[in-house]
Structure 1
Amino acid sequence: MAIFPVCGQEKGVFWKISGNGLPSSSYLFGTIHLICEQDFAMSGQVIEKLAESKALVLEIDMDDPALRMALMSNIYNEDGQKITDYLSEEEYQEIKSFLKERTGMDMDMLKTMRPMVLMSLIYPNLLECDTRAFENELMALAKSEDIEIVGLESVEDQLSLFDLIPLEEQYRSFYTYADNLEKGKEEFRKLIASYREEDISALLDLVSESPEYRDYKDVLLDQRNQNWIDPMESLMKSGSMFFAVGAGHLAGDTGLIQLLKREGYSVERLYL
Protein backbone atom coordinates (compact mmCIF):
# COMPACT_ATOMS: atom_id res chain seq x y z
CA MET A 1 0.00 0.00 0.00
CA ALA A 2 1.28 3.40 -0.94
CA ILE A 3 2.53 5.59 1.87
CA PHE A 4 2.24 9.34 1.45
CA PRO A 5 4.03 11.78 3.77
CA VAL A 6 1.59 13.44 6.13
CA CYS A 7 3.94 15.84 7.91
CA GLY A 8 2.52 15.24 11.37
CA GLN A 9 -1.17 15.71 10.56
CA GLU A 10 -2.25 12.05 10.42
CA LYS A 11 -5.31 12.68 12.58
CA GLY A 12 -8.18 15.16 12.47
CA VAL A 13 -11.14 15.82 10.18
CA PHE A 14 -11.91 19.35 11.43
CA TRP A 15 -9.47 22.25 11.03
CA LYS A 16 -9.33 26.02 11.55
CA ILE A 17 -7.66 28.16 8.87
CA SER A 18 -6.33 31.53 9.98
CA GLY A 19 -3.54 34.06 9.50
CA ASN A 20 -1.98 35.26 6.25
CA GLY A 21 -4.09 38.43 6.31
CA LEU A 22 -7.49 36.75 6.58
CA PRO A 23 -10.20 38.96 8.10
CA SER A 24 -11.54 36.01 10.11
CA SER A 25 -10.96 32.29 10.59
CA SER A 26 -12.41 29.74 8.17
CA TYR A 27 -12.97 26.02 8.70
CA LEU A 28 -12.15 22.84 6.82
CA PHE A 29 -14.26 19.75 7.53
CA GLY A 30 -13.52 16.37 5.97
CA THR A 31 -16.62 14.35 5.19
CA ILE A 32 -17.41 10.84 4.10
CA HIS A 33 -19.99 11.05 1.35
CA LEU A 34 -22.11 8.11 2.50
CA ILE A 35 -22.17 6.59 5.98
CA CYS A 36 -24.40 4.25 7.98
CA GLU A 37 -27.00 5.96 10.15
CA GLN A 38 -25.54 4.44 13.32
CA ASP A 39 -22.07 5.74 12.45
CA PHE A 40 -23.21 9.26 11.63
CA ALA A 41 -22.39 11.99 14.13
CA MET A 42 -21.96 15.73 13.83
CA SER A 43 -20.38 17.49 16.79
CA GLY A 44 -21.71 20.64 18.37
CA GLN A 45 -18.53 22.47 17.38
CA VAL A 46 -19.06 21.68 13.68
CA ILE A 47 -22.64 22.95 13.89
CA GLU A 48 -21.53 26.06 15.80
CA LYS A 49 -18.75 26.99 13.35
CA LEU A 50 -21.01 26.46 10.34
CA ALA A 51 -23.62 28.75 11.92
CA GLU A 52 -20.94 31.46 12.33
CA SER A 53 -19.79 31.20 8.69
CA LYS A 54 -20.72 33.33 5.74
CA ALA A 55 -21.06 30.37 3.37
CA LEU A 56 -20.98 26.58 3.22
CA VAL A 57 -18.51 25.59 0.49
CA LEU A 58 -18.84 22.06 -0.91
CA GLU A 59 -16.91 20.33 -3.71
CA ILE A 60 -19.80 21.26 -6.00
CA ASP A 61 -22.83 23.43 -5.25
CA MET A 62 -25.32 20.66 -4.52
CA ASP A 63 -28.04 23.27 -3.96
CA ASP A 64 -27.77 24.62 -7.50
CA PRO A 65 -31.11 24.12 -9.35
CA ALA A 66 -29.14 23.47 -12.54
CA LEU A 67 -27.25 20.57 -10.93
CA ARG A 68 -29.91 17.94 -11.58
CA MET A 69 -30.13 18.96 -15.23
CA ALA A 70 -26.33 18.84 -15.58
CA LEU A 71 -26.21 15.39 -14.00
CA MET A 72 -29.07 14.09 -16.14
CA SER A 73 -27.33 15.27 -19.30
CA ASN A 74 -24.15 13.43 -18.30
CA ILE A 75 -25.57 10.04 -17.31
CA TYR A 76 -24.70 8.37 -20.61
CA ASN A 77 -21.44 8.07 -22.55
CA GLU A 78 -21.18 10.99 -24.94
CA ASP A 79 -20.32 8.91 -28.00
CA GLY A 80 -22.65 6.01 -27.22
CA GLN A 81 -19.99 3.58 -26.01
CA LYS A 82 -21.48 0.54 -24.27
CA ILE A 83 -20.35 -1.59 -21.35
CA THR A 84 -20.48 -4.58 -23.73
CA ASP A 85 -17.68 -2.94 -25.75
CA TYR A 86 -15.32 -3.51 -22.82
CA LEU A 87 -16.49 -6.66 -21.00
CA SER A 88 -16.73 -10.21 -22.26
CA GLU A 89 -20.21 -11.70 -22.74
CA GLU A 90 -19.69 -13.82 -19.63
CA GLU A 91 -18.65 -10.81 -17.56
CA TYR A 92 -21.58 -8.80 -18.86
CA GLN A 93 -24.06 -11.53 -17.93
CA GLU A 94 -22.58 -11.60 -14.40
CA ILE A 95 -23.06 -7.83 -14.11
CA LYS A 96 -26.58 -8.08 -15.53
CA SER A 97 -27.60 -10.74 -13.01
CA PHE A 98 -25.95 -8.85 -10.16
CA LEU A 99 -27.67 -5.56 -10.96
CA LYS A 100 -31.06 -7.21 -11.42
CA GLU A 101 -30.76 -9.02 -8.11
CA ARG A 102 -29.47 -6.02 -6.17
CA THR A 103 -31.39 -3.12 -7.69
CA GLY A 104 -34.15 -4.63 -9.83
CA MET A 105 -32.76 -2.71 -12.82
CA ASP A 106 -32.24 -4.25 -16.26
CA MET A 107 -28.65 -3.80 -17.43
CA ASP A 108 -29.77 -4.13 -21.06
CA MET A 109 -31.43 -0.73 -20.64
CA LEU A 110 -28.29 0.82 -19.14
CA LYS A 111 -25.55 -0.31 -21.51
CA THR A 112 -24.45 3.22 -22.45
CA MET A 113 -24.56 4.55 -18.88
CA ARG A 114 -21.31 6.04 -17.60
CA PRO A 115 -19.34 3.69 -15.30
CA MET A 116 -19.37 6.16 -12.39
CA VAL A 117 -23.19 6.30 -12.56
CA LEU A 118 -23.39 2.50 -12.54
CA MET A 119 -21.02 2.53 -9.56
CA SER A 120 -23.36 4.85 -7.67
CA LEU A 121 -26.15 2.29 -8.10
CA ILE A 122 -24.26 -0.33 -6.11
CA TYR A 123 -22.88 1.87 -3.31
CA PRO A 124 -25.90 1.16 -1.05
CA ASN A 125 -25.12 -2.56 -1.37
CA LEU A 126 -21.63 -1.94 0.00
CA LEU A 127 -23.08 -0.52 3.21
CA GLU A 128 -26.25 -2.59 3.72
CA CYS A 129 -27.71 -0.07 6.15
CA ASP A 130 -29.80 3.06 6.25
CA THR A 131 -27.44 5.80 5.13
CA ARG A 132 -26.90 9.50 5.67
CA ALA A 133 -24.73 11.99 3.81
CA PHE A 134 -22.79 14.72 5.61
CA GLU A 135 -23.29 17.08 2.69
CA ASN A 136 -27.10 16.79 2.94
CA GLU A 137 -27.03 17.39 6.70
CA LEU A 138 -24.71 20.38 6.34
CA MET A 139 -26.89 21.87 3.60
CA ALA A 140 -29.99 21.49 5.76
CA LEU A 141 -28.21 23.31 8.60
CA ALA A 142 -26.99 26.04 6.26
CA LYS A 143 -30.48 26.59 4.86
CA SER A 144 -31.95 26.78 8.36
CA GLU A 145 -29.46 29.56 9.15
CA ASP A 146 -29.92 31.24 5.74
CA ILE A 147 -26.27 30.60 4.90
CA GLU A 148 -25.22 30.65 1.24
CA ILE A 149 -24.11 27.35 -0.36
CA VAL A 150 -21.41 27.43 -3.05
CA GLY A 151 -19.05 24.99 -4.78
CA LEU A 152 -15.30 24.80 -5.40
CA GLU A 153 -15.81 23.30 -8.85
CA SER A 154 -18.68 22.84 -11.30
CA VAL A 155 -20.31 19.48 -11.93
CA GLU A 156 -18.87 19.71 -15.45
CA ASP A 157 -15.37 20.13 -13.95
CA GLN A 158 -15.91 17.07 -11.79
CA LEU A 159 -17.31 14.92 -14.58
CA SER A 160 -14.56 15.99 -17.00
CA LEU A 161 -11.97 14.39 -14.71
CA PHE A 162 -13.37 10.98 -15.55
CA ASP A 163 -12.88 11.68 -19.25
CA LEU A 164 -9.14 11.48 -18.53
CA ILE A 165 -9.54 7.84 -17.48
CA PRO A 166 -10.05 5.33 -20.32
CA LEU A 167 -13.60 3.94 -20.32
CA GLU A 168 -12.25 0.41 -20.40
CA GLU A 169 -10.52 0.97 -17.06
CA GLN A 170 -13.62 2.57 -15.56
CA TYR A 171 -15.83 -0.34 -16.61
CA ARG A 172 -13.18 -2.77 -15.36
CA SER A 173 -13.25 -1.07 -11.93
CA PHE A 174 -17.04 -1.32 -11.86
CA TYR A 175 -16.86 -5.01 -12.76
CA THR A 176 -14.21 -5.60 -10.08
CA TYR A 177 -16.46 -4.08 -7.41
CA ALA A 178 -19.56 -5.95 -8.53
CA ASP A 179 -17.68 -9.24 -8.94
CA ASN A 180 -16.24 -9.10 -5.41
CA LEU A 181 -18.77 -7.24 -3.35
CA GLU A 182 -17.46 -8.71 -0.09
CA LYS A 183 -14.09 -7.08 -0.68
CA GLY A 184 -15.84 -3.79 -1.40
CA LYS A 185 -17.84 -4.12 1.82
CA GLU A 186 -14.66 -4.75 3.79
CA GLU A 187 -13.01 -1.68 2.25
CA PHE A 188 -16.03 0.43 3.16
CA ARG A 189 -15.94 -0.85 6.74
CA LYS A 190 -12.26 0.13 6.96
CA LEU A 191 -13.06 3.53 5.47
CA ILE A 192 -15.77 4.21 8.04
CA ALA A 193 -13.60 2.94 10.92
CA SER A 194 -10.73 5.22 9.84
CA TYR A 195 -13.12 8.14 9.54
CA ARG A 196 -14.53 7.61 13.01
CA GLU A 197 -10.96 7.53 14.34
CA GLU A 198 -10.21 10.71 12.32
CA ASP A 199 -7.24 8.87 10.82
CA ILE A 200 -6.94 10.91 7.64
CA SER A 201 -3.65 9.28 6.68
CA ALA A 202 -5.31 5.84 6.64
CA LEU A 203 -8.25 7.34 4.74
CA LEU A 204 -5.90 8.68 2.08
CA ASP A 205 -4.28 5.26 1.72
CA LEU A 206 -7.66 3.51 1.43
CA VAL A 207 -8.99 5.97 -1.15
CA SER A 208 -5.73 5.91 -3.13
CA GLU A 209 -5.77 2.11 -3.27
CA SER A 210 -9.43 1.74 -4.30
CA PRO A 211 -9.92 0.43 -7.89
CA GLU A 212 -11.28 3.70 -9.31
CA TYR A 213 -8.48 5.85 -7.80
CA ARG A 214 -5.46 3.54 -7.77
CA ASP A 215 -3.85 4.68 -11.00
CA TYR A 216 -5.35 8.17 -11.07
CA LYS A 217 -4.71 9.68 -7.64
CA ASP A 218 -2.87 12.56 -9.30
CA VAL A 219 -5.96 13.48 -11.36
CA LEU A 220 -8.78 12.68 -8.94
CA LEU A 221 -7.17 13.93 -5.73
CA ASP A 222 -3.87 15.84 -6.14
CA GLN A 223 -4.79 18.05 -9.09
CA ARG A 224 -8.23 18.84 -7.70
CA ASN A 225 -6.70 19.82 -4.35
CA GLN A 226 -4.34 22.19 -6.15
CA ASN A 227 -7.19 23.58 -8.27
CA TRP A 228 -9.22 24.36 -5.12
CA ILE A 229 -6.59 26.54 -3.41
CA ASP A 230 -7.21 29.70 -5.48
CA PRO A 231 -11.02 29.67 -5.04
CA MET A 232 -10.59 28.86 -1.35
CA GLU A 233 -8.28 31.85 -0.90
CA SER A 234 -10.64 34.18 -2.78
CA LEU A 235 -13.61 33.07 -0.69
CA MET A 236 -11.76 33.36 2.63
CA LYS A 237 -10.78 36.95 1.88
CA SER A 238 -14.47 37.88 1.95
CA GLY A 239 -15.19 36.37 5.37
CA SER A 240 -15.46 33.16 7.36
CA MET A 241 -16.02 30.11 5.16
CA PHE A 242 -16.97 26.55 6.10
CA PHE A 243 -15.37 24.14 3.60
CA ALA A 244 -16.71 20.58 3.54
CA VAL A 245 -14.94 18.14 1.19
CA GLY A 246 -14.21 14.42 1.15
CA ALA A 247 -11.81 13.55 3.97
CA GLY A 248 -9.47 11.89 1.45
CA HIS A 249 -8.56 15.40 0.26
CA LEU A 250 -7.07 16.49 3.61
CA ALA A 251 -3.93 14.44 4.31
CA GLY A 252 -0.64 13.92 2.55
CA ASP A 253 1.98 16.18 1.05
CA THR A 254 -0.45 17.16 -1.73
CA GLY A 255 -3.49 17.36 0.57
CA LEU A 256 -5.34 20.56 1.39
CA ILE A 257 -3.82 20.95 4.85
CA GLN A 258 -0.25 21.04 3.57
CA LEU A 259 -1.14 23.09 0.50
CA LEU A 260 -2.78 25.75 2.68
CA LYS A 261 0.20 25.78 5.03
CA ARG A 262 2.52 26.31 2.07
CA GLU A 263 0.46 29.35 1.11
CA GLY A 264 1.22 30.81 4.54
CA TYR A 265 -1.95 29.95 6.47
CA SER A 266 -2.08 28.58 9.99
CA VAL A 267 -4.05 25.31 9.90
CA GLU A 268 -4.94 24.05 13.36
CA ARG A 269 -6.80 20.88 14.29
CA LEU A 270 -10.10 21.30 16.13
CA TYR A 271 -11.20 18.36 18.27
CA LEU A 272 -14.72 17.05 17.78
Structure 2
Amino acid sequence: MPKKIAILFTMLLLACCQALFAAGLSEPGSVVHRGQLYRVTHDGKTSYLFGTIHVGRDGFYPLDPVASRALLDSKALVIELDIRQDAPFQLALARHGRYLDGDILQNHLSPATLRLTVQALARAGLSLQSVQHYKPWLVANLLVGAEMEVHGFQRSQAVEYALLAAAKSQDKAVRELESADYQLSLFDTLDERQQEQYLLENLADLADGVSLKRSTALIDAWNAADAPGIRAAWQSATSGDTISAGFMNRVLLGKRNPEMANNIERIMMQEQAAFVGVGLLHLMGDDGLPQLLRKRGYQVEQLY
Protein backbone atom coordinates (compact mmCIF):
# COMPACT_ATOMS: atom_id res chain seq x y z
CA MET A 1 0.00 0.00 0.00
CA PRO A 2 2.83 2.53 0.59
CA LYS A 3 3.70 2.22 -3.11
CA LYS A 4 0.10 3.11 -4.04
CA ILE A 5 0.18 6.19 -1.83
CA ALA A 6 3.49 7.18 -3.31
CA ILE A 7 1.99 7.02 -6.81
CA LEU A 8 -0.87 9.26 -5.77
CA PHE A 9 1.56 11.78 -4.28
CA THR A 10 3.75 11.88 -7.41
CA MET A 11 6.52 9.69 -6.11
CA LEU A 12 7.03 7.49 -9.16
CA LEU A 13 10.22 7.02 -11.16
CA LEU A 14 11.21 9.61 -13.76
CA ALA A 15 11.55 7.19 -16.67
CA CYS A 16 7.92 7.35 -17.82
CA CYS A 17 8.28 10.99 -18.83
CA GLN A 18 11.79 11.03 -20.23
CA ALA A 19 10.57 9.84 -23.63
CA LEU A 20 7.97 12.62 -23.65
CA PHE A 21 10.32 15.44 -22.80
CA ALA A 22 13.83 14.09 -23.19
CA ALA A 23 15.21 17.07 -25.03
CA GLY A 24 13.19 19.75 -23.27
CA LEU A 25 12.07 21.18 -26.58
CA SER A 26 8.65 21.28 -28.22
CA GLU A 27 7.80 19.92 -31.61
CA PRO A 28 8.23 22.40 -34.45
CA GLY A 29 5.14 24.43 -35.15
CA SER A 30 3.51 23.85 -31.77
CA VAL A 31 1.44 26.89 -30.82
CA VAL A 32 -0.60 25.63 -27.86
CA HIS A 33 0.24 27.27 -24.54
CA ARG A 34 -0.39 25.50 -21.24
CA GLY A 35 -0.53 26.90 -17.73
CA GLN A 36 0.89 30.34 -17.07
CA LEU A 37 4.42 31.62 -17.63
CA TYR A 38 6.02 34.74 -16.16
CA ARG A 39 9.38 36.38 -16.84
CA VAL A 40 10.98 37.66 -13.62
CA THR A 41 13.88 40.14 -13.81
CA HIS A 42 15.99 41.76 -11.11
CA ASP A 43 19.52 43.21 -11.05
CA GLY A 44 20.13 42.18 -14.65
CA LYS A 45 19.11 38.55 -14.05
CA THR A 46 16.16 36.89 -15.77
CA SER A 47 14.27 33.90 -14.41
CA TYR A 48 10.91 32.32 -15.12
CA LEU A 49 7.88 31.30 -13.09
CA PHE A 50 5.71 28.54 -14.53
CA GLY A 51 2.39 27.17 -13.22
CA THR A 52 2.17 23.37 -13.14
CA ILE A 53 -0.43 20.75 -12.31
CA HIS A 54 0.41 17.63 -10.35
CA VAL A 55 -1.26 15.14 -12.70
CA GLY A 56 -1.13 14.62 -16.45
CA ARG A 57 -2.21 12.45 -19.36
CA ASP A 58 -1.23 11.64 -22.92
CA GLY A 59 -1.17 14.71 -25.13
CA PHE A 60 0.09 17.18 -22.52
CA TYR A 61 3.69 17.04 -23.70
CA PRO A 62 5.93 18.33 -25.03
CA LEU A 63 5.38 21.81 -23.64
CA ASP A 64 5.10 24.79 -25.94
CA PRO A 65 8.13 26.52 -27.51
CA VAL A 66 8.05 29.50 -25.13
CA ALA A 67 8.17 27.44 -21.94
CA SER A 68 10.64 25.00 -23.50
CA ARG A 69 12.98 27.81 -24.50
CA ALA A 70 12.70 29.44 -21.08
CA LEU A 71 13.72 26.18 -19.43
CA LEU A 72 16.53 25.61 -21.91
CA ASP A 73 17.90 29.11 -21.25
CA SER A 74 17.82 28.66 -17.45
CA LYS A 75 20.73 27.37 -15.39
CA ALA A 76 18.61 25.54 -12.84
CA LEU A 77 15.17 23.99 -12.46
CA VAL A 78 13.36 24.89 -9.25
CA ILE A 79 10.31 22.88 -8.16
CA GLU A 80 8.30 22.47 -4.99
CA LEU A 81 9.71 19.01 -4.36
CA ASP A 82 11.99 16.60 -6.21
CA ILE A 83 9.36 13.89 -6.66
CA ARG A 84 11.93 11.35 -7.86
CA GLN A 85 13.08 10.88 -4.26
CA ASP A 86 10.87 8.28 -2.58
CA ALA A 87 12.71 7.70 0.70
CA PRO A 88 12.07 11.18 2.19
CA PHE A 89 8.41 10.85 1.23
CA GLN A 90 8.05 7.49 2.95
CA LEU A 91 9.64 8.86 6.12
CA ALA A 92 7.31 11.87 6.07
CA LEU A 93 4.33 9.62 5.42
CA ALA A 94 5.17 7.47 8.44
CA ARG A 95 5.63 10.54 10.60
CA HIS A 96 2.60 12.58 9.61
CA GLY A 97 0.12 10.32 7.81
CA ARG A 98 0.02 7.16 9.92
CA TYR A 99 -1.25 6.34 13.36
CA LEU A 100 1.33 4.96 15.77
CA ASP A 101 1.41 2.16 18.32
CA GLY A 102 -1.32 0.06 16.74
CA ASP A 103 -3.87 2.88 16.61
CA ILE A 104 -6.29 2.72 13.67
CA LEU A 105 -8.63 4.93 11.68
CA GLN A 106 -11.72 3.27 13.15
CA ASN A 107 -10.88 4.80 16.53
CA HIS A 108 -11.06 8.33 15.17
CA LEU A 109 -14.22 8.41 13.06
CA SER A 110 -17.88 8.42 14.00
CA PRO A 111 -19.88 5.35 12.94
CA ALA A 112 -21.60 7.38 10.20
CA THR A 113 -18.33 8.70 8.77
CA LEU A 114 -16.75 5.27 8.96
CA ARG A 115 -19.66 3.75 7.03
CA LEU A 116 -19.35 6.34 4.25
CA THR A 117 -15.59 5.83 4.15
CA VAL A 118 -15.92 2.06 3.77
CA GLN A 119 -18.39 2.58 0.91
CA ALA A 120 -16.08 5.03 -0.86
CA LEU A 121 -13.11 2.73 -0.42
CA ALA A 122 -15.07 -0.17 -1.90
CA ARG A 123 -15.97 1.91 -4.97
CA ALA A 124 -12.26 2.64 -5.38
CA GLY A 125 -11.39 -1.04 -5.07
CA LEU A 126 -9.79 -0.65 -1.65
CA SER A 127 -10.49 -2.25 1.71
CA LEU A 128 -10.66 -0.56 5.09
CA GLN A 129 -7.92 -2.87 6.34
CA SER A 130 -5.54 -1.60 3.66
CA VAL A 131 -5.79 2.00 4.91
CA GLN A 132 -6.75 1.59 8.56
CA HIS A 133 -3.41 2.93 9.79
CA TYR A 134 -3.79 6.12 7.74
CA LYS A 135 -5.17 9.37 9.12
CA PRO A 136 -8.43 10.78 7.71
CA TRP A 137 -6.76 13.52 5.66
CA LEU A 138 -4.57 10.93 3.95
CA VAL A 139 -7.51 8.64 3.21
CA ALA A 140 -9.36 11.59 1.67
CA ASN A 141 -6.42 12.48 -0.57
CA LEU A 142 -5.96 8.85 -1.54
CA LEU A 143 -9.58 8.55 -2.65
CA VAL A 144 -9.44 11.77 -4.67
CA GLY A 145 -6.24 10.59 -6.36
CA ALA A 146 -7.75 7.17 -7.10
CA GLU A 147 -10.73 8.80 -8.81
CA MET A 148 -8.44 10.91 -10.96
CA GLU A 149 -6.56 7.81 -12.05
CA VAL A 150 -9.79 6.07 -13.03
CA HIS A 151 -10.54 8.99 -15.36
CA GLY A 152 -7.15 8.88 -17.04
CA PHE A 153 -5.18 11.45 -15.06
CA GLN A 154 -1.92 10.02 -13.78
CA ARG A 155 0.37 11.35 -11.10
CA SER A 156 3.16 9.66 -13.03
CA GLN A 157 2.57 12.17 -15.87
CA ALA A 158 2.62 15.26 -13.66
CA VAL A 159 4.23 18.32 -15.22
CA GLU A 160 7.06 18.10 -12.71
CA TYR A 161 8.21 14.79 -14.21
CA ALA A 162 8.44 16.36 -17.65
CA LEU A 163 10.43 19.28 -16.26
CA LEU A 164 12.74 16.93 -14.36
CA ALA A 165 13.31 14.83 -17.47
CA ALA A 166 14.26 17.92 -19.44
CA ALA A 167 16.54 19.15 -16.66
CA LYS A 168 18.30 15.78 -16.60
CA SER A 169 18.81 15.72 -20.35
CA GLN A 170 20.15 19.28 -20.22
CA ASP A 171 22.36 18.53 -17.19
CA LYS A 172 20.69 21.24 -15.10
CA ALA A 173 20.82 21.60 -11.34
CA VAL A 174 17.52 20.90 -9.55
CA ARG A 175 16.55 22.92 -6.49
CA GLU A 176 13.65 22.28 -4.09
CA LEU A 177 11.47 24.95 -2.49
CA GLU A 178 10.13 22.61 0.19
CA SER A 179 10.55 19.11 1.61
CA ALA A 180 8.27 16.09 1.76
CA ASP A 181 8.27 16.32 5.55
CA TYR A 182 7.13 19.92 5.43
CA GLN A 183 4.39 19.33 2.87
CA LEU A 184 2.84 16.39 4.74
CA SER A 185 3.23 18.12 8.11
CA LEU A 186 0.80 20.81 6.92
CA PHE A 187 -2.05 18.30 6.71
CA ASP A 188 -1.11 16.95 10.12
CA THR A 189 -1.85 20.38 11.62
CA LEU A 190 -5.56 19.66 11.21
CA ASP A 191 -7.01 18.52 14.54
CA GLU A 192 -9.17 15.41 14.86
CA ARG A 193 -12.45 17.22 14.28
CA GLN A 194 -11.08 19.04 11.26
CA GLN A 195 -9.60 15.86 9.80
CA GLU A 196 -12.91 14.03 10.03
CA GLN A 197 -14.71 16.99 8.48
CA TYR A 198 -12.09 17.20 5.73
CA LEU A 199 -12.71 13.54 4.97
CA LEU A 200 -16.49 13.99 5.02
CA GLU A 201 -16.33 16.96 2.66
CA ASN A 202 -14.21 15.02 0.19
CA LEU A 203 -16.48 11.97 0.45
CA ALA A 204 -19.48 14.17 -0.37
CA ASP A 205 -17.67 15.80 -3.31
CA LEU A 206 -16.66 12.40 -4.64
CA ALA A 207 -20.18 11.02 -4.32
CA ASP A 208 -21.91 13.85 -6.19
CA GLY A 209 -19.22 14.38 -8.82
CA VAL A 210 -18.09 17.79 -7.58
CA SER A 211 -14.56 16.57 -6.90
CA LEU A 212 -14.02 15.33 -10.44
CA LYS A 213 -15.68 18.40 -11.94
CA ARG A 214 -13.49 20.76 -9.91
CA SER A 215 -10.30 18.88 -10.74
CA THR A 216 -10.98 18.59 -14.45
CA ALA A 217 -11.93 22.27 -14.64
CA LEU A 218 -8.50 23.21 -13.33
CA ILE A 219 -6.74 20.71 -15.60
CA ASP A 220 -8.66 21.87 -18.68
CA ALA A 221 -7.92 25.50 -17.85
CA TRP A 222 -4.20 24.70 -17.48
CA ASN A 223 -4.19 22.73 -20.72
CA ALA A 224 -5.55 25.70 -22.65
CA ALA A 225 -3.76 28.49 -20.72
CA ASP A 226 -7.30 29.72 -20.05
CA ALA A 227 -6.80 32.64 -17.65
CA PRO A 228 -10.49 33.11 -16.73
CA GLY A 229 -10.84 29.37 -16.24
CA ILE A 230 -7.74 29.25 -14.03
CA ARG A 231 -9.05 32.11 -11.92
CA ALA A 232 -12.45 30.43 -11.59
CA ALA A 233 -10.76 27.20 -10.44
CA TRP A 234 -8.73 29.13 -7.87
CA GLN A 235 -11.83 30.88 -6.56
CA SER A 236 -13.68 27.56 -6.33
CA ALA A 237 -10.84 25.98 -4.35
CA THR A 238 -10.50 28.85 -1.88
CA SER A 239 -14.07 30.11 -1.40
CA GLY A 240 -16.66 28.99 1.11
CA ASP A 241 -16.76 28.05 4.77
CA THR A 242 -15.65 24.43 4.43
CA ILE A 243 -12.61 22.97 6.18
CA SER A 244 -11.15 22.13 2.76
CA ALA A 245 -11.47 25.65 1.36
CA GLY A 246 -10.24 27.25 4.57
CA PHE A 247 -7.24 24.95 4.69
CA MET A 248 -6.41 25.64 1.05
CA ASN A 249 -6.74 29.39 1.48
CA ARG A 250 -5.08 29.71 4.88
CA VAL A 251 -2.38 27.03 4.79
CA LEU A 252 -1.72 25.41 1.40
CA LEU A 253 -1.61 28.84 -0.27
CA GLY A 254 -1.66 31.56 2.39
CA LYS A 255 1.12 30.12 4.52
CA ARG A 256 3.24 28.60 1.79
CA ASN A 257 3.24 31.42 -0.77
CA PRO A 258 5.32 33.88 1.30
CA GLU A 259 7.70 31.06 2.25
CA MET A 260 8.02 30.05 -1.40
CA ALA A 261 8.67 33.67 -2.35
CA ASN A 262 11.50 33.79 0.23
CA ASN A 263 13.08 30.65 -1.20
CA ILE A 264 12.61 31.76 -4.80
CA GLU A 265 14.27 35.07 -4.00
CA ARG A 266 17.20 33.28 -2.35
CA ILE A 267 17.66 30.91 -5.30
CA MET A 268 17.37 33.68 -7.86
CA MET A 269 20.16 35.55 -6.08
CA GLN A 270 22.36 32.45 -6.36
CA GLU A 271 21.53 31.44 -9.93
CA GLN A 272 22.09 33.43 -13.09
CA ALA A 273 18.71 32.20 -14.37
CA ALA A 274 16.19 29.81 -12.82
CA PHE A 275 13.07 28.16 -14.17
CA VAL A 276 10.64 27.88 -11.25
CA GLY A 277 7.75 25.41 -11.64
CA VAL A 278 5.10 25.51 -8.91
CA GLY A 279 1.46 24.49 -8.65
CA LEU A 280 -0.70 26.76 -10.77
CA LEU A 281 -2.83 28.05 -7.89
CA HIS A 282 0.27 29.52 -6.22
CA LEU A 283 0.32 32.12 -8.99
CA MET A 284 -3.18 33.42 -8.39
CA GLY A 285 -4.54 36.42 -6.50
CA ASP A 286 -3.04 39.35 -4.63
CA ASP A 287 -1.05 36.97 -2.44
CA GLY A 288 0.16 34.82 -5.35
CA LEU A 289 3.84 34.52 -6.15
CA PRO A 290 3.88 37.05 -9.04
CA GLN A 291 2.40 39.75 -6.82
CA LEU A 292 4.61 38.88 -3.85
CA LEU A 293 7.71 39.14 -6.03
CA ARG A 294 6.53 42.45 -7.47
CA LYS A 295 6.19 43.80 -3.94
CA ARG A 296 9.82 42.85 -3.34
CA GLY A 297 11.02 44.92 -6.27
CA TYR A 298 11.11 42.30 -9.02
CA GLN A 299 9.83 43.05 -12.49
CA VAL A 300 7.27 40.37 -13.31
CA GLU A 301 5.83 40.10 -16.82
CA GLN A 302 3.21 37.54 -17.75
CA LEU A 303 4.17 35.95 -21.07
CA TYR A 304 0.90 34.01 -21.32
Q: 1:173 to 1:69 in 2, by over 3 A?
A: closer
The structural deviation recorded for 1:202 is: 2.1
- Among residues 245, 255, 270, which one is paired with 1:214 in the alignment? 245
State whether structure 2 residue 226 is matched by structure 1 residue 204.
no
Q: 1:264, 1:31 → 2: CA distance?
A: 24
Q: Which structure is higher in helix share?
A: 2
Contact 1:225-1:255 within 8 A present in 2 as well? yes
The structural deviation recorded for 1:212 is: 5.6
State whether structure 2 residue 201 is matched by structure 1 residue 150.
no
The structural deviation recorded for 1:192 is: 2.2
Q: 1:30 to 1:125 in 2, by over 3 A?
A: same
Q: Percent identity?
A: 29
State whether structure 2 residue 252 is matched by structure 1 residue 225.
no
Q: 1:111, 1:226 → 2: CA distance?
A: 35
Q: CA RMSD in A?
A: 2.6
State whether structure 2 residue 115 is matched by structure 1 residue 83.
no
Contact 2:89-2:181 within 8 A present in 1 as well? no
Contact 1:56-1:150 within 8 A present in 2 as well? yes
State whether structure 2 residue 117 is matched by structure 1 residue 95.
yes
Mark the runs of 5 or more structure 1 residues left unpaired by the alignment.
1-10
State whether structure 2 residue 58 is matched by structure 1 residue 37.
yes
Residue type matched to 1:207 in 2? A
Residue type matched to 1:189 in 2? T
State whether structure 2 residue 38 is matched by structure 1 residue 15.
yes
CA deviations over 1:169-221 (Å, ceiling 9, x no partner): 22322233234421111212222233231344223212214856412212221
Q: TM-score, normalised by structure 2?
A: 0.76
The structural deviation recorded for 1:41 is: 6.1
- Among residues 73, 92, 105, which one is paired with 2:126 in the alignment? 105
**Which piece of structure 1 moves more, 156-165 or 146-155?**
156-165
State whether structure 2 residue 88 is matched by structure 1 residue 57.
no
Mark the runs of 5 or more structure 2 residues left unpaired by the alignment.
1-33
Corresponding position of 2:184: 159
Contact 2:35-2:50 within 8 A present in 1 as well? no
Q: 1:227, 1:78 → 2: CA distance?
A: 30
The structural deviation recorded for 1:88 is: 2.6
Q: 1:225, 1:64 → 2: CA distance?
A: 23
* SS at 2:175 equivalent: strand
The structural deviation recorded for 1:36 is: 4.0
Query: How many positions carry a matched residue from both structures?
Result: 258
Contact 2:38-2:50 within 8 A present in 1 as well? yes
Residue type matched to 1:111 in 2? Q
The structural deviation recorded for 1:264 is: 0.4
The structural deviation recorded for 1:70 is: 2.6
Q: TM-score, normalised by structure 1?
A: 0.84
